[in-house]
Structure 1
Amino acid sequence: MGRVILTLGLSVVMVLSLVAVALASESGVFSDLSREHQYSSSTPSGSGWRSAPEDPQTVYVSIIAPNVRLKGAIESALDNVTRSHGLKPVYVSEPIADYNLKGRVVIVYLPVDFWRDGLLRSEYGVSGVLYYSYPGDAKTFAELMLSRNVPEETSETIKELARELSSLSVRRLREERVLNQSVSVAYWWNLRAVVGKLRKGDPYGMIAREIAAQLNEFLGGP
């Protein structure tokens, strides 16, 4: 009987050890909630309609991130993606509305982040939106952020922000009779990088590359 119990005990220890090694070796990017909205329409030219942006080869980029390391990683990742499409990224810290319709606009807004350091693995995560406007509609984002009254971001408020950005931008572009109305928005709740203790990895870079991959998809769209 004692030998059976000992064998079972050793088996349990081996299984737990294998599970621990698997967790400690894990590395990847995951999200509890993510989605994208894309709208593209080119209105027939006619009296009163205008083309935007003024310089389609320039991309004005605004990154609103919770820490310097993440912001730097995102800037580097977006730089690679935009340049691969033959575009010139310009990173701005002043109000993005100053660049309205002057060039394409990319805004990364990440108001929430967290860090969990466990025994076997560490996690760093963010929540927020990626906004891309081909005609360079920066005004919609600026006005929407000023009008928001959100004491604490939740998955629902982030989802609603993404929906409003998409719908309000299209409405504004139509009202101002802008020909190209291409707008894309993606959002994430708990977009997190998981790095096991047995693996080497930069969670900031992992998240940045995930966001850049989404922008790459937007830039390659119609």
Structure 2
Amino acid sequence: MTADETAADHFAVVAVASSAGGIHALSTLLEQLGAGLSVPLLVVQHLDPRHSTVIAGVLSRRTDLTVKLAEDDERARPGVVYVAPPDHHLLVNADGVLSLSRSSMVHFVRPSADLLFESVAGAYGARAIACVLTGTGRDGAMGVDAVKSCGGTVLCEDPDTAEFSGMPEAAVATGAVDFVLPLEEIATVIRGLVEIKRQ
């Protein structure tokens, strides 16, 4: 059975991208999502590759969900937040198995939201949710277009209220965004989408 054939059953993954201002935005989102999320959550946050990162620990203090750096060849589990390690692209296949790549930068960044979103679109089709939060640049715009083209659902932080509007503006400009929301409303909509589809 293909991802599209099971689209009516439930969403299967949430992918989130952020850059400048992202630690605060991700902390807010995860705190408001609460515990027991029924899907995995994959995160690309642009980080300085010259330093080790404590992002998983920082985010863990704000949520009851398990937060960890993604590892190559591990299977994504519901209720776990997988953060792309610095200087590695994060991808997922149709079996929900994660992979890390040091392939070329996209829009001068690695990890790339575009690559994550495109892999999520290819793996999950209409069962994918993609979300763009605060950030500079255009990363994520091509990816949200891919998610929407495959029947998935796209959310975006409102550029007018985002700490940095570049990434949200680029996403909205594609015409592929289903929900443009203040940061404080995004978790409720994600919860609603995931849980409604499972009823």
TM exceeding 0.5: no
User: TM-score scaled by structure 2?
Assistant: 0.37
Larger Rg: 1
Which structure exhibits the higher relative contact order, with contacts defined as CA atoms closer than 8 Å and separated by 6 or more residues? 1
User: TM-score scaled by structure 1?
Assistant: 0.34
